[in-house]
Amino acid sequence: MVQVEISQLTQECNGWREQLRTYREEFTQDENKLRQVAGKALSKEQLQEVEHLHNQFHIQLINIHDLKQTIKVHDRKMNFEQAVFNGSANEDTLARHESLHEEFQNLEQTLLSLRSEFSDFLSRTS
């Protein structure tokens, strides 16, 4: 069994959660910007884009929250295991950690795409 220190995995979890907090703040601010744009005179197509973006912000903020909570639970489990297994992670924990890392990366790609889509929309409506 590969010996991986739980403290290293915990640091990774903390980094992911911090990045998710940053995204949450950014998209909350973007939602407010979208509301301001929605108050302007917009074409039917632009209003459809506003609705789409609003829905995406809502969905992605939920996804951010859910993943943050899942990472927190995983981190707590690792801290428990640290005491039981003398600071080393077991195979299941390592597999779960890798799975969460993939989930984080996939969500991050989605968020970066939404950021770009919103930026393009703002540049067309300014």
Summarised one tens digit per residue, pLDDT across range 103-114 is 999 999 999 999
Residue 5 has a pLDDT of 83
Matching CATH number, 6-125, of 2.60.40, 1.20.58, 1.10.3470, 3.40.1350: 1.20.58
Distance between CA atoms of 43 and 14, rounded to whole angstroms? 43
Query: Across residues 16-45, what is the average pLDDT?
Result: 96
Handedness of CA 65, 66, 69, 70 (dihedral sign): negative
The whole-angstrom separation of Cα 122 and Cα 114 is: 12
**What pLDDT is attached to residue 60?**
98
Q: Say yes or no to pLDDT of 11 above 70.
A: yes
Give 36-95 pLDDT, tens digit per residue.
Answer: 999 999 999 999 999 999 999 999 999 999 999 999 999 999 988 888 877 677 889 899
Number of Cβ atoms within 10 Å of the Cβ of 1: 8
Q: Which amino acid would we find at residue 52?
A: H
pLDDT value of position 88: 73
Given this model, what pLDDT does residue 3 score? 55
Is residue 22 within 8 A of residue 107, CB to CB? The reply is no
pTM for the model stands at 0.91
What whole-number distance in Å separates Cα of residue 90 and Cα of residue 85? 8
> Is-contact 31 115, C-beta < 8 A?
no
CA distances to 22, 39, 49 from 114, rounded to whole Å, are: 15, 21, 12
